[in-house]
Amino acid sequence: MTAFSRLIAAAAIGGCLAACASTPAPYYGPASMSRDGTGFSELRIEDRRWRVSYTGAPGMSAGEAERLAIRRAADVVLNNRLEWFTIVHSRALEEPQARSGGSPVRVGGSVGRGWGSGGFRSTSVGVGISMGVGSTAQSRPRPEAVIEIIAGSGEPRPDGAYDAAIIAAEPRV
């Protein structure tokens, strides 16, 4: 390998490392502590039932927001001295992107399904319309994931139950 090819290889490796280092890790903390509304929140619905949501930063995927909502659900379950949880309702949506010079009217929607105690099942469809007043400057999508969970401890675990300790042990990035 010549000195020139070693220099090119070193520059390429350095560029790759710099690109990796410049990609920030997603924010994992309460939405109220974030200036732009990014982060998680939860609401206790019943003794062992919560609604957990995560709003992502502009440009984050809806799948990543859902992964962080599930991560927060695991933390909530463990903080309440429980072991597992099942998702009984979920929705993940990504706000449509507004374009510069385009219409300030945005339309979005979601479809969800849920299961409750006693075998109750539901399906819901939501449609929303947003009309921006004033600026039509370009913005990036902000995903939101909302899950409703039922938690418990011991056996038997329902089919498809998540082990909260395993989820919480995974790296946040």
Q: Domain limits of the chain?
A: 27-169
Q: What is the band of 170 on the pLDDT scale with cuts at 50, 70, 90?
A: confident
Q: What is the band of 72 on the pLDDT scale with cuts at 50, 70, 90?
A: very high
Q: Identify any residues that bridge with 86 across adjacent strands, giving them in sequence order.
A: 150
pLDDT of residue 22: 44
**Whole-angstrom distance, CA of residue 160 vs CA of residue 152:** 13
**Whole-angstrom distance, CA of residue 150 vs CA of residue 148:** 7
Q: Give the model confidence (pLDDT) of 75-121 as tens digits.
A: 999 999 999 999 999 888 776 444 344 455 556 655 566 666 555 56
CA distances from 38 to 17, 27, 33, 84, 125 (A): 27, 7, 9, 26, 25
Q: What is the band of 43 on the pLDDT scale with cuts at 50, 70, 90?
A: very high
Q: Give the model confidence (pLDDT) of 25-38 as tens digits.
A: 677 777 777 667 88
**Whole-angstrom distance, CA of residue 124 vs CA of residue 11:** 53
The torsion region of residue 100 among left (phi > 0), alpha (psi -120 to 50) and beta comes to beta
pLDDT for residue 173 is more than 80: no
29 or 47, which is more confident = 47
- Phi, psi values for residue 172, rounded to 5°: -75, -15
Tokens of 33: 């502590």
pTM for the full predicted model:
0.61
Is residue 73 within 8 A of residue 147, CB to CB? The reply is: yes
pLDDT of residue 138: 47
pLDDT for residue 158 is more than 50: yes
Q: Is the peptide bond before 156 cis (omega within 30 degrees of 0)?
A: yes
Range with the lowest mean pLDDT among 40-49, 51-60, 86-95, 155-164?
86-95
Residue range 39-44: mean pLDDT, rounded: 91
